[in-house]
A and B are shown apart, each in its own frame.
Chain A
Amino acid sequence: MHTLLAKSLITKPLTIAAPQPDPAALAELAQALDQRARRLLGHSLSIREVDAGSCNGCELEIHALNNAFYDLERFGIKFVASPKHADVLLVTGPVTHNMKIALERAYAVTPDPKWVVAVGDCACSGGVFAGSYACAGPVSAVIPVDLHIKGCPPQPIDLLKGLLALLATVSATGDVATTGT
């Protein structure tokens, strides 16, 4: 273990440079956030991930955000274990009827101000499962959605750009804030 730790001291970090927030996401979010919320949250976001019927492809890529390459926590964004600790619900899947109540309850116990990000094609539109007897429809059919990140699954870099747009909007003091209100 000591060799590995010592080696880590002299090797270059693997972490990629921070990407620019996704402009499309910024535009979508500008509608959703008010000044008060931005003041409250400052520069950090706590996320609760909810799989509402995903094939788990999205979960794998959301997981990747925590690896050394994307290192989400450097931006002040972290995943929390309970919706009661969360500012943001990151929801995946075509919302199965069997998960609908759990999702609604998770949303209900997330304290205000809160935002919902629909991650992946299924969460955005139902994807390949749209129209099934077992699915309630995209996330927006069940709870209000503030940001959509498409992809099957979205790549970690796309997730990062979307979440940075959310953070930028939430904590903005300049341009974005004025366009948002």
Chain B
Amino acid sequence: MIKKEVNREGWEQIADGLAAKTSTLLGLWAERECVHICIHDPATGVSVATLQTPDKSYPSVARKHLPALRMERAIADLFGLKAEGSPDRRPWLDHGKWPVRTPFVPVPASTTPALAYTFLPVEGEGIHQIPVGPIHAGIIEPGHFRFSANGETVVRLEERLGYVHKGIEKLFEGADLATAAKLAGRISGDSTVAYAFAFALAAEAALDIKVPPRAQDLRGIMAELERIANHFGDIGAICNDASFSLMHAHCGILREETLQHADACFGYRLMMDRIVPGGVTADLGAAEAVRLLDWTDSAEKRFDELMQMYEDTASIKNRTNTTGIVSEELVQLYGAGGYVGRASGRRFDARHHAPYPPYDGLEFDIPVLKAGDVNTRLWIRAYEIKQSFILIRTFVQRLPQGKIMATLPSPVPSSEGREGMAQVEGFRGDILVWLRFAGDGRIARCYPRDPSWFQWPLLEVAVKGNIVADFPLCNKSFNCSYSGHDL
């Protein structure tokens, strides 16, 4: 990781580079006295630039590069730092319900006026609005969708998120390593392994901890099991939203089997707290490993049959083909990761493009398609499941003997100011975690960036021009995280 301090001019140059598409935005976050921006430049790699903010403001990146917009609004809500020239000053995470304003520099809410929130205007004859949420009809996370429709056709979707904001970034502040690792595993429950993984890698980078090879491969097995479980669930759920319940039922069986194997192998269905800084907390027994391998064969065979059935069923294909299209230009601009990016031609997978153990040195395919519709996002998942089966077999078969935990220095010697960053490919896309330690081994600041930050805005585009009834299909095919985004 390249790290540099920049002045306002340097900050503007970074924004210009993003706008010119010579680099991709990976994250934008703040501290009380500064803002940080993380970008990926193909020429120089990943870098973090820091701008001091003595005037409590900084030049808006979003005025040149829109993907930064919601992050700037979140920074204003949490730190009170203003983005100068921002095209949208509305709050984002702060709904005016917290007892404090700008919780990192708390001001009692009673002393500042409540925040107004106006949805963007939509004009035209016959346009009507459909407000949906925060509580949705299904068993899913809360958020508000404001549809403006002309008849059945969606003219504009505006998302309003932040309902599940739990103050996670603030809770990290001052947390000891064990507490912080636990918290990281609860940023988004469906990606608990990926978040714990990213947090552990960032902490290990900061503290120069070497993870034993066996623990590295076990992490790989857990991460791929999590990916498979979620992809099974998503494929079933997408089909279910077009009333193809047979796929849903059978994908549900495969998902349940995945979780039961995770439970048998690592003692936890969703594998929370199995990955911690230094290694893993559960070892894989020989008998469980054999059963896991046998299952991958049986599950893969059954999954192939299901996907054949999907492909052969015209009624479902009629719903998923050409529905919710996202252009390659937009996924490149937003740096959208995961199946959202890869279904629209953006070839990026952190396991390959920012390799970390145990994926470094491994050859595996990164499925990329172009059509960018619901069907393509579903197929990317299907192809990734196949790759994950291969990876699980590789890790199980080559699993070295040895320790599963590095010896952690206790207390951490001179951790003051040590920083670490990691990018991990979760099932949804690349997760970024940046952290800095305080002197006593506690976390001074931790910023986790969910892949959803760069996917949610594209859902608004994907649904435009589709009928309202196809929104659930579009939404499920994205399956963005609310909790990971709202923090």
Contacts and interface: CB of A to CB of B under 8 A. Distances in A.
Nearest to B483: A55
B141 A98 contact: no
B66 interface: no
A135 B166 contact: yes
Contacts of B43: none
Give the most central of A54, A61, A82: most B CB within 10 Å. A54
Contacts of A153: 189, 270
B189 A59 contact: yes
B216 interface: no
A54 B135 CA distance: 13
A79 B256 contact: no
B392 interface: no
A54 B189 contact: yes
B246 A1 contact: yes
Given A67-B252, A134-B165, A54 B483 contact: yes
A56 B483 contact: yes
Give the most central of A62, A128, A153, A155: most B CB within 10 Å. A128
B163 interface: yes
A146 interface: no
5 contacts: A3-B305, A51-B142, A55-B483, A66-B252, A129-B168
B407 to A, nearest CB: 26
A4 B253 CA distance: 14
Given A53-B166, A53-B483, A60-B190, 11 more contacts: A4-B309, A54-B189, A55-B186, A56-B188, A67-B249, A67-B253, A102-B134, A102-B135, A128-B179, A133-B170, A135-B167
10 A-B pairs with least C-beta separation: A57-B189, A134-B167, A132-B167, A67-B252, A81-B137, A55-B189, A97-B97, A56-B189, A55-B186, A49-B139
Interface in A87-134: 93-94, 96-102, 106, 127-129, 132-134
A56 B135 contact: no
Contacts of B166: 53, 94, 96, 129, 132, 134-135
Nearest to A130: B171
B95 A133 contact: no
B57 to A, nearest CB: 23
B117 to A, nearest CB: 12
B135 A57 contact: no
B311 to A, nearest CB: 11
A56 B141 contact: yes
A152 B272 contact: yes
A68 interface: yes
A83 B134 CA distance: 13
Contacts of A59: 139-141, 189
Interface stretch (B98-106, B198-206, B289-297): B98-106
Contacts of A4: 246, 250, 305-306, 309
Contacts of B183: 128
A164 interface: no
B182 interface: yes
A130 to B, nearest CB: 9
B141 A54 contact: yes
Given A56-B483, A102-B135, A96 B163 contact: yes
Interface residues of B, number: 53
Interface size range on A against B: 35 or more
A167 interface: no
A1 B313 contact: yes
Interface string B400-421: 0000000000000000000000
Given A4-B250, A63-B139, A99-B163, A57 B190 contact: yes
A52 B163 CA distance: 8
B162 interface: yes
Contact of A128 (B137, B186, B312): B186
B103 A134 contact: yes
A102 B135 CA distance: 7
Given A99-B142, A133-B99, A56 B167 contact: no
A61 B263 CA distance: 13
A75 interface: no
A64 B309 CA distance: 23
B113 to A, nearest CB: 17
A101 B134 CA distance: 10
Nearest to A7: B305
A69 B162 contact: no
B75 interface: no
Nearest to A152: B272
A94 B253 CA distance: 30
A71 B286 CA distance: 32
B255 interface: yes
A134 B186 contact: no
B164 interface: yes
A181 B256 CA distance: 39
A50 interface: yes
B481 interface: yes
B256 A64 contact: yes
Contacts of A152: 186, 272
Interface string B118-139: 0000000000000000110111
A14 interface: yes
Given A51-B141, A128-B182, A128-B183, A56 B190 contact: yes
A58 interface: yes
Contacts of B142: 51-52, 99, 102
A92 to B, nearest CB: 9
